[in-house]
Structure 1
Amino acid sequence: MASIPLVMTLGNSMLIPVLPIFEKEVGITSFQTSMIITSYSIASIFLIPVAGYLSDRFGRKVVILPSLLIALIGGLVAGFASWKMDDPFTWIIIGRVLQGIGAAGAAPIILPLVGDLYKDDDEKTSSCLGLIETSNTFGKVLSPILGALFAAYLWYLPFFSISVFSLISIVLVLFFIKVPKKKEEPVALSAFIQSTKKIFKQEGKWIFTVFLVGIYIMLVLFAVLFFLSDSLEKTHGLYGVKKGFVLAIPLLALCISSFITGRKIKGELKVMKVIMTVSLILMSISVALIGFVDQRLILLLAVSSFLGLSIGALLPTMDALITENIEKEERGTISSFYSSSRFIGVAAGPPLMAVLMKSLLNISLIGAGVLGILMFMLVLIFIKPEKSGSAA
C-alpha cells in the first residue's frame, strides 16, 4: 500500500527541482513551468471524488490498478514528447493530465482501504496511516535527489522514470494487496448522494475544517518548495544533485515528523486536536519568516525544516481524523473529497509563488502565516473531541 503514495509523490515532487531545467530546455516562462505541476493536480481535483465513489461501489483494487496504468501511460507521453518533439510543452501537459487522472484513482483510495483492513482497531489504523503518510513524505525527500540525478543524465528522464515506478507499484498491488470481500450490495447512486449530503449536514463543520486545513498545508508546502528550488539556484548558486540534497533537508524533517506522529496518536481525538493546534501555530510562524532569511542559506534551511516538522505532524493526524470518524460505507467518498481538497493546494501553490515571489514575496508569506492562524482558530472552534465517537 505504501508504494502507491510513494509513486504518486515521486510523480509530482520529483519534477520540482528540475523545473528551472525544463524552463531552459523547452523555452518556457516560470509560470508555464509551474503548470507542469498544476496540470497534474487540477486533473486530480475533479476526478478524486469520482474515484472514491467508484471504489465504494466496485472495490478499491478495481479502481487502483487501472489508475496506476493511466499514470504509467502519462509518463510515457510526457517523456516521448520531450525526447522527440521540438516544441513538446503541450504534450508534456497532456501527459501530466493523464498522470493526474491516474493519481486521482490510486493514492486517495489507500486511506479508505486502510480503514477497511483495520476497521476494528483504531491503534493499528493510526499506525498504518502514519506509515502511509511517511511513505508519501519519504517520496518528497527522495524526489528532489532522484529528480536531479535523472535530469543530470537526461533532462526528460524524470518523466520516463514515473512510468517505471508505476509499473513496480502495479505488480506489488496485484500480488500483495488482498482486499476484504464485499458482502453487501453496492449503494445506488441516488442513495449514495443522499447519504453523502446527510454526512456533510451532520458532520460538515469539522469535515470542512479538515478540508480547509488540508488545502492550506499543501498550498504552503508546494509554494515554498517552488520558491526554494528557484532560490537555491539563483541566490545560492546550487545546481543539480547538490541542490537536490539540500532541497531534501526540510522534506526529511517532514518525513520524520510524520512517522513519529503516526505512531503516537493511536486514535486519540484529544491528542489529535493538540497536535493540529500546536503545529498550525508553528507552521504560521515558520512560513512568515522564510522570506526574511532567504539570503542566508543555513537560516533558510533551519526555518524551512521547522516548517517541514509542523506539516509532517499535521498530515497523518488529519488522515486519521477522516478515516476513523467516517463509517465504512462513505469512507472512500469523504476521504476522496479530502484528498481532492489537498490537491487544490498543490495546484495553487507553484503558480501563485511564480507570480508573487518577484515583487511580493515577504507580503505573501506573511499573509500565509496569518491564514495559518485562521486555520488554528477554525480547528479550536469546530473540532471537538469531547463528544465521543466523532470529531464534532
Structure 2
Amino acid sequence: MQANQGKANIFAIALIPLVMVLGNSMLVPVLPTMKSKLNLSEFQVSLTITAFSLAAGLIIPLVGYLSDRFGRKWIIVVSLIIYGIGGIISGFAAWSLEKPYMIILIGRIIQGIGAAGTSPIAMALIGDVYSGAKESKALGIIESTNGLGKILSPIIGSLIALIIWYAVFFTFPILCFATAVFVWIGVKEKKKKQGKPLPEYLGALKQIFKQKGKWLVPAFFVGSVGLFILFGVLFYLSEMLESEYQIDGIIKGCILAIPLLGMVITAYITGAKIKQNKPLIRKIMIFGLLLLTASMLTVSFFKQIYLLIGFLTLGSIGTGLLLPCLNTLITGAVEKAERGMITSLYGSVRFLGVAFGPPLFSWLMKISHKTVFFSMAGLSLVTLILAFFFIKPSKNSKGESEKNEQLSTLFKKREKLTTT
C-alpha cells in the first residue's frame, strides 16, 4: 500500500514540471507563424517567452515563502488554475481581436504568475517527502519530466498549430486543470508545523546565505545560464529551420525535440546515479559544463543542419548532466523549514535565464551565427570557472550518505512504532 502511495505521489508531482514547461516549449515552434500572422518583429515575438518567464521569476520568491508558511500542495493547485486562466485570456485575444498582441502578452504574464507556483514548489515538496538517495532519484525524475515536456511540446505545438496557430493557448487550461485535480487527489503531503513569520524567516534566509552563499550564489547563476542557453538555442533553431531550410510543421517539431531528448535521458540517469555523493556530483557537474562549452565553441564553425543538430545535442547532454546535480545540491543545502524559499529563489533565477534567452539570441542573430555561439561558449566557460572554484559544498563520502539515509529510515520506523 505504501509503495503504491509512493508511486502515486511521485507520478502526481512529476506531472507538475511537465505541464509547467509546456508554457514556453509548446509555443516555440509556433513563434515564426505568430510573427507572420500578427506582423511582429523578431524581438516582439520573443517577448511572448520573456513575459511568461519574467513574471514567473519575479513572483517565485513570494510563492516560495507562502509554501513554507502554509504548505506546498494548495499553492501548486491554485497556481495551476491561474496558469490555465492565462492561457484562456491569450487564446480568446488571438481568436477574437483584430490586434491581439498586447492582450496575448497580458495573458502570458498571468500564465507566468501561475507557473511560479509549479515546478519550484514541486522540488521543495520532493525534499519534504523523500530523503537521501530517494530524494536525488525523485529530483532526477522531475528534471527528466521537465525535459520530457520540452521534447513533446515542440511536437505537440506543431501538431496543434495545424488546426490554427493560436490553438496552443487553449491547450494550456485543459492540461493545467486536469493536473490540478490529479495533484489534489494524488499527492499526500506530510503534516508540518506552520512556517516562521516573515521577519524571522528572512533572518533565517540571511543566515543561510551568510553561511553558504559562497557556493549557493554561483550555483544559482550556473543553473540560470544553463536554461538561458537552452531556450536561446531552441529559439535560434526554430527560426533557422524555417528561414534557412524551409522546414515547418511536425518535422520541425521533431527536429527541435532531438537535442532535448539527449538532455532528458542524461538527466534521468544522472539523477538516479548521483544519490548524495557530493564529490561525484561535483565531478559530473564540471564535466557537463565542459561538454556544454565545447559544443557551443564547435557549433560556431558549422551551419550545416546535421552538424548543427549533432553538436547542439551534445550541449544538451551537458545540460542534462548539470541540472540534476545542481538540484540535489541546492535542495539539500537547507533545513525543510526554509527549503521552499531556497528552491524558489533557484527557480526564480532559472526562469530569468529562460526570459532573457530568446530576446538576446534574437539580437545576436542579427550580427552573425559565429557571434551567437562564440558568445555562448564564452558564457559557458565563465560558468565552468565559477563551478570549479566556488561550487564546493561540504564534502561527504558515499558511505556517509548511505549511513545518513539508513539512520533516517530507522528514525522513521521508530516514529511509526511509537505512534501505533
SS at match of 1:339: helix
Q: Which residue of 1 aligns with 2:181?
A: 171
1:239 aligned onto 2:248: yes
Query: What is the alpha-carbon distance in structure 2 between the residues aligned to residue 222 and residue 290 of structure 1?
Result: 16
Which residue does 1:135 correspond to in 2?
145
Q: What secondary structure, in the 3-state scheme, does the structure 2 residue paired with 1:2 have?
A: helix
Does the residue aligned with 2:175 lie in a helix, a strand or coil? Answer: helix
What is the rounded CA distance, in whole Å, between the counterparts of 1:374 and 1:167 in structure 2?
41
Which residue in the other structure is 1:157 paired with?
A: 167
Correspondence for 1:267: 276
CA contact (8 A) 2:70 2:194 kept: no
Summarize deviations over 1:239-269 as a string: whole Å, max 9, x none: 1111111111111111111111111111111
Instruction: Name which of 102, 107, 111 aligns with 1:90.
Output: 102
Alignment of 1:125 with 2:135, yes or no, is yes
Aligned with 1:70 (options 82, 95, 102):
82
Structure-to-structure mapping, 1:165-314, within 5 angstroms: 165-182=175-192, 184-294=193-303, 296-314=304-322
Partner Cα distance (2:312, 2:73) in 1:
37
1:108-150 deviation per Cα after TM superposition (whole angstroms, max 9, x unaligned): 10111001001xx310000000100000000000011000000
Separation (CA, whole Å) in 2 of partners of 1:18 and 1:108: 26
Is the 1:122–1:324 Cα contact (8 Å) retained in structure 2?
Answer: no
Q: Distance in 2 between matches of 1:47 and 1:188?
A: 19
Q: What amino acid is aligned across from residue 151 of structure 1 in structure 2?
A: A
1:321 corresponding residue in structure 2: 329
CA shift at 1:71, angstroms? Answer: 0.3
1:153 match: secondary structure: coil
Gaps spanning 5+ residues in structure 2: where?
A: 1-12, 401-420
Separation in 1, partners of 2:394, 2:354: 32
- DSSP 3-state at the match of 1:293: coil
Name the amino acid aligned to 1:254: M
Q: Is the 8 A contact 2:123 2:343 kept in 1?
A: yes
Which residue pairs with 1:347 in the alignment?
A: 355
Could you list the runs of 5+ residues in structure 1 that have no partner in the other structure? none
Determine the structure 2 residue equivalent to 1:53.
65
Distance 1:318 1:205 in 2: 15
Partner residue of 1:368 out of 373, 376, 386 = 376
Aligned-pair CA distance for 1:43: 0.3
Q: Which amino acid aligns with 2:144?
A: T
Distance 1:159 1:293 in 2: 35
1:161-194 per-residue CA deviation (whole Å, 9 max, x = no partner) reads 0111101111111100010011x34201110010
Could you report, residue by residue, the CA deviation over 1:2-36 in whole angstroms, capped at 9, with x for unpaired residues?
A: 11100010111110111000001111111100000
Q: CA separation in 1, counterparts of 2:173 and 2:319? A: 28
**Secondary structure of the structure 1 residue equivalent to 2:301:** helix
- Contact kept in structure 1, 2:220 and 2:346, CA below 8 Å: yes
The 2-side partners of 1:268 and 1:176 are apart by 31
The answer (yes or no) to whether the contact 1:211–1:338 under 8 Å persists in 2 is yes
Alignment match, 1:26: 38
How far apart are the structure 1 equivalents of 2:348 and 2:38?
A: 30
Q: Identify the range of structure 1 (29-38 vs 378-387) with the bigger mean alpha-carbon deviation.
A: 378-387
Whose radius of gyration is greater, 1 or 2? Answer: 2
Q: Distance in 2 between matches of 1:65 and 1:297?
A: 42
**One-letter code aligned to 2:107:** G
Query: Separation in 1 of the partners of 2:84 and 2:113?
Result: 11
Q: CA RMSD in A?
A: 1.3
TM-score for both structures, normalised by structure 2: 0.90
Deviations 1:200-225 (A, max 9, x none): 01000110011110111111111111
Within 1, Cα distance between the matches of 2:213 and 2:396? 17
Between the aligned residues of both structures, percent identity stands at 44
Match of 1:43 in 2: 55
Residue type at the aligned position of 1:62? W
1:113 maps to 125
Report the Cα distance in structure 2 between the residues aligned to 1:90 and 1:180, rounded to whole angstroms.
Answer: 42
Asked if the contact 1:273–1:385 (Cα under 8 Å) also holds between the matched residues in 2, the reply is no
Q: 1:185–1:153: structure 2 CA closer, same or farther, 3 Å change rule?
A: closer
For 1:332, the equivalent position in structure 2 comes to: 340
The letter for the 1-side match of 2:19 is V
Cα deviation code 1:308-352 (max 9, x no counterpart) = 111111111111111122111111001100000111110010000
Structure-1 separation of matches of 2:46 and 2:339: 32
Secondary structure of the residue that 1:180 maps to in structure 2? coil
- After TM superposition, the score normalised by the length of structure 1 is 0.96
In the alignment, residue 117 of structure 2 is paired with which amino acid? G
